[in-house]
Amino acid sequence: MKRVHIAPTLLDAQLAADALSSLGIVTHILNANAAGALGEVPFMQAQPEVWVDDDRQAARAREILAGLRNAPLRDEKICPQCGEANPGNFMSCWQCGGALPD
């Protein structure tokens, strides 16, 4: 297990975990219940953390998350080969490996 992301909110952690698991990376969210049901975060309370199961996937997971943060959805590129949406800064499709348009 390796930590790849410290999220400001549980929603952020969930989005990151969803993005990684959709790419076949097994994740766990730690401190998921720390924020409370209504989203009130008491001072100094632990933030949600995203961990990957397989240490060997940690580097790739961080790369993917960095890509997500740097590329808002409106900048996404649609793969011409398979139609999959990719973060705007990706050079090739994560799904099929095809080249993405600039």
How near is the Cβ of 21 to Zn ion at its closest, in Å?
Answer: 19
Check residue 83 and give left, alpha or beta (phi > 0: left; psi -120 to 50: alpha). left
Q: Does 92 bind Zn ion (CB under 5 A)?
A: no
Q: Does 96 bind Zn ion (CB under 5 A)?
A: yes
DSSP 56: G
- Interface residue with Zn ion among 1, 23, 59, 82 (CB under 5 A) is 82
Q: Does 93 bind Zn ion (CB under 5 A)?
A: yes
- Interface residue with Zn ion among 41, 84, 88, 89 (CB under 5 A) is 84
Core vs surface per residue 55-84: b (16+ CB within 10 A) or e: eebbebbbebbebbeebeeeebbebeeeee
Residues 61-80 that bind Zn ion (CB under 5 A): 79
